[in-house]
Amino acid sequence: MVGFETSDDAAVYLLGDKAVLLTVDFFTPMVDDPYDFGRITAANALSDVYAMGGTPLTAMNLLAFPCDMDPEIVAAVLRGGADVCRSAGVVVVGGHTIDDKEPKYGLSVMGVAEPDQIVRNVGARAGDVLVLTKRIGVGIMNTALKAGHETEESLSGVIASMARLNAEAAAAMTEVGVNAGTDVTGFGLLGHLREMALGSGLAARVDLGSVPVFAGALDYSARGVRPGRTEDVIAALDPHVEWGPADNAWKGVLCDPQTSGGLLMAVDPANLDELLGALERRGEEGSCVGRIEQGEPGGVVITS
């Protein structure tokens, strides 16, 4: 069984010869279009099961909205979530709604996996290469959208990334085998990497030049266009990170809270080419962004 001791992406309950994965996620709107909001939120919720090497099977809607909201807007949110679930082969089996002044939407997800194929965010080994499957900076770009600096049209690539399921990346991960894995969400790349390193009793190194970032994110970060939680993430990580060449703009990007981010995997160097090939065959990008190494558990060093 897996609980919340090491901040794994989902709980795991052994039921006979199967492992049942359980998780829940919900958000306030990160984009203006209600259909896209539904799609992105569903992809994010399903990602926790994929990140642990599982297959999501069922989902239940969690929906909060003011009773005077246009029902067409509510329907569009649910339709977006349902369409993503359908594309993943996931059945929406019910849910719950409440009256709330601020709209919120999410999913409670159940999935399954073979017990010996569960991927946890601990277990990385010294020398493992860190592979990331999506660009980071979506929190910053969504903040730029809310501030009127961008439109949903100009951010179509960012929205497509957030709505993209991690199913194919997870299939590549389980096919090849990795020592540890997680998805990059609310604590940013560095926050989730620190959890992996700390739980594995090791340190990590990140190569700035290899980190894939959405165009414009560094510039917006330098101008202070960031999600409100970014500074809290930076402050929490600051005692554990040697920032090196990372200036203030890079700090904002590396600690940017992601919505429906990619998978971060620690893979044995001997299996790296096989993993990158498996990702490419499935239409997924894989960037080698650093390594796991000996050092203070949970410590992260940034290099150029």
Each residue's pLDDT tens digit, 48-69: 999 999 999 999 999 999 999 9
Residues 99 and 170 both lie in one domain: no
Q: What's the confidence (pLDDT) of residue 271?
A: 98
pLDDT of the residue at 274: 98
Task: Report whether 30 contacts 259 (CB < 8 A).
Answer: yes
Provide the pLDDT for residue 215: 97
Which residues have a Cβ under 8 Å from the Cβ of 58 and sit 6 or more positions away? 90, 91, 92, 93, 109, 110
Q: Token pair of 135, please?
A: 């660009």
* Spans in the chain with pLDDT lower than 70: 1-7
Query: How many structural domains are present in the chain?
Result: 2
Boundary of a domain, candidates 117, 142, 164: 117
> Is residue 267 domain-shared with residue 298, that is, in the same domain?
yes
Check which CATH number belongs to the domain holding 177 and give it.
3.90.650.10
Cα→Cα distances 130→181, 228, 272, Å? 9, 28, 9
> 192 vs 66, 184, 222, 248, 254, CA distance in Å?
34, 6, 22, 19, 10
User: What pLDDT, on the 0 to 100 scale, is given for residue 6?
Assistant: 58
Residue 264 lies in a domain: yes
Question: Distance between CA 106 and CA 32 in Å, rounded?
Answer: 16
pLDDT of residue 7: 60
Token code pair at residue 129: 């290469």
Instruction: Answer whether 254's CB lies under 8 Å from 211's CB.
Output: yes
Domain range for residue 254?
129-303
Strand, helix or coil for residue 121: coil
> How far is it, in rounded angstroms, from Cα 57 to Cα 244?
44
Task: Mark whether 89 and 228 lie in a shared domain.
Answer: no
pLDDT (0 to 100) of residue 10? 81
- pLDDT on residue 248: 97
Which pLDDT value is given to residue 5?
59
Same-domain pairing of 113 and 262: no
Retrieve residue 291's tokens: 């390594």
- Assess if residue 40 is contained within a domain: yes
User: In the listed set 67, 87, 117, which residue is the last one of a domain according to the structure?
Assistant: 117
